């Protein structure tokens, strides 16, 4: 049974030692730090690009900065919960779940508005929506793997959940705005 407010990681405790050895799984936790750093660094460029044809009343540059900063924090919480303290009770597990839910809802809000009201090309809309939907599907697949106690399915699904959700915003936005602008060459 899934216990949101538990102080334990919601997977079998016998998985603790093997999970600590899964390098890609561990690295995927830190992908949130990369997403956050990218979002904070490029919030002004993203917001300016969205507002280029007369304004963007849906969210501010500051919201992007807050989302980015919280994503950096999420990277640390995720690594602590999913790798360092897996198998041990800790408030970190609860903090990881709470911030993950908040960031997922905020991310879906931001990306949903960009998809519905932004000026992304159809291929970039498909890329953003595809990455976001695939990552959410992997999240639910990871939950099912915990329920069914299928270790390898959990590891890959949880890893792909992290990587997909962290790629769904910066990759399409970099391609839309232009890598030269993002890299500061223009």
The mean pLDDT of 111-137, rounded to a whole number, is 94
The mean pLDDT of 102-131, rounded to a whole number, is 93
pLDDT at 164 over 90: yes
Q: What percent of the chain has pLDDT over 70?
A: 98
pLDDT at 152 over 70: yes
What band does 1 get if pLDDT is binned at 50, 70 and 90?
Answer: very low
pLDDT at 8 over 90: no
Instruction: Identify the sign of the CA torsion 6, 11, 17, 19.
Output: negative
Q: What value does the mean pLDDT of the chain take?
A: 92
Q: Which of 3-7, 65-69, 77-81, 142-146 has the lowest mean pLDDT?
A: 3-7
Q: What is the pLDDT of residue 58?
A: 86
Which tens digits make up the pLDDT trace of 41-77?
Answer: 999 999 998 888 777 888 889 999 999 999 999 999 9
The mean pLDDT of 113-142, rounded to a whole number, is 94
Length in residues, the chain: 186
Rounded Cα distance between 175 and 77, Å, is 29
Query: Who has greater pLDDT, 168 or 6?
Result: 168
Terminal C-alpha separation, the chain? 52
What band does 182 get if pLDDT is binned at 50, 70 and 90?
Answer: confident
Q: What is the pLDDT of residue 131?
A: 97
Q: What is the pLDDT of residue 6?
A: 79
């Amino acid at each position: 049974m899934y216990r949101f407010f538990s102080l334990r990681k919601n997977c079998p405790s016998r998985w603790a030692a093997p999970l600590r050895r899964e390098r890609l799984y561990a690295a995927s936790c830190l992908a949130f730090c990369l997403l956050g750093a990218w979002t904070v660094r490029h919030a002004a460029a993203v917001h300016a690009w969205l507002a280029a044809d007369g304004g963007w009343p849906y969210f501010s540059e500051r919201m992007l900065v807050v989302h980015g900063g919280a994503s950096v924090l999420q990277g640390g919480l995720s690594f602590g919960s999913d790798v360092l303290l897996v198998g041990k009770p800790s408030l970190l597990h609860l903090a990881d779940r709470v911030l993950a839910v908040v960031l997922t809802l905020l991310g879906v809000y931001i990306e949903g508005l960009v998809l519905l009201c932004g000026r992304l090309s159809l291929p970039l809309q498909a890329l953003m929506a595809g990455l976001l939907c695939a990552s959410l599907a992997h999240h639910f697949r990871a939950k099912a793997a915990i329920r069914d106690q299928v270790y390898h399915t959990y590891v890959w699904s949880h890893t792909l959940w992290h990587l997909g959700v962290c790629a769904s915003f910066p990759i399409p936005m970099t391609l839309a705005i232009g890598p030269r602008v993002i890299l500061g060459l223009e």
